[in-house]
Amino acid sequence: MPTSATGTNKRGGFTLLEVLVVLAIVAVLAAVAALAVGGVGSRRVENAARRAEALLTLACERAAMTGRDIGVAVLTDGLRFGYLVEQGWQPVGDDPADPLRPRALGEAIRLSVEREGELLDLADDPPTAPHLACSSSGELTPFVLEIAGEADAQRWHLRGTLDGTLALQAVDGDG
């Protein structure tokens, strides 16, 4: 049996303290990994909601700056923008350089929109008319846009008011 310089027997292996330290480190790393992976669905829905808010803000700012009213069609999974002209609604094309081109808000994202307390039918694809409008005077069709993931309990509501204000709010599973 090997002996140390002091003459005591030395066995190979780890002390209980060393094992406990390693277990604590592994537990912390596992918790960090679980938190990072566990929130992916919720972050995906939040990102889609923030993207919808940014696109609607851009559309309304463009309407005010150009003097041209902009209509917004809500699809079940995205937004479609277009100009309101005498001939009706002319959707913006698929030009990659145009920020108001048709936009899907993400995989497994589902939208619904309520206007004047009534849930609108989003069955038309492609849409034949807009559901909302940003006017060149700064007004906006009042609405509530719900952004949700297919399997997520978390949902977001984007509220638009007549004065052109947008407000984004997380909604719990009951609300």
Q: According to the model, what pLDDT value does residue 47 have?
A: 92
Q: According to the model, what pLDDT value does residue 147 have?
A: 93
Please report whether residue 88 resides in a domain: yes
Q: What is the 3-state secondary structure (H, E, C) of the chain?
A: CCECCCCCECCCCCCHHHHHHHHHHHHHHHHHHHHHHHCHHHHHHHHHHHHHHHHHHHHHHHHHHHCCCEEEEECCCEEEEEEEECCEEEECCCCCCCCCCCEECCCCEEEEEEECCEECCCCCCCCCCCCEEECCCCCECCEEEEEEECCCCCEEEEEECCCCCEEEEEECCCC
Q: Single out the residue of 62, 83, 59 nearest to residue 143, CA to CA.
A: 59
Please report whether residue 58 resides in a domain: yes
Please report whether residue 83 resides in a domain: yes
Give me the amino acid identity at 103: R
Please report whether residue 84 resides in a domain: yes
Mean pLDDT of 12-16: 84
* Contact indicator for 82, 70 with CB cutoff of 8 Å: yes
* Structural domains of the chain, count: 1
Q: pLDDT digits over 51-71, tens only?
A: 999 999 999 999 999 999 999
> Would you state the structure tokens that stand for residue 66, as one six-digit string?
């150009």
Please report whether residue 30 resides in a domain: no
**Range in 37-46, 82-91, 159-168 with the lowest mean pLDDT:** 37-46
Q: Which CATH number fits the domain that encloses residue 107? A: 3.55.40.10
Q: According to the model, what pLDDT value does residue 138 have?
A: 94
Please report whether residue 17 resides in a domain: no
Q: Which has more confidence, 157 or 37? A: 157
Please report whether residue 110 resides in a domain: yes
> Which structural domain, as residue segments, surrounds residue 163?
40-171
Q: pLDDT digits over 117-175, tens only?
A: 999 988 877 788 999 999 999 999 999 999 998 765 689 999 999 999 999 999 876 55
Share of the chain above pLDDT 70, in %: 85
Please report whether residue 16 resides in a domain: no
CA distances, 168 to each of 75, 111, 118, 145, 158 (Å): 19, 14, 19, 9, 4
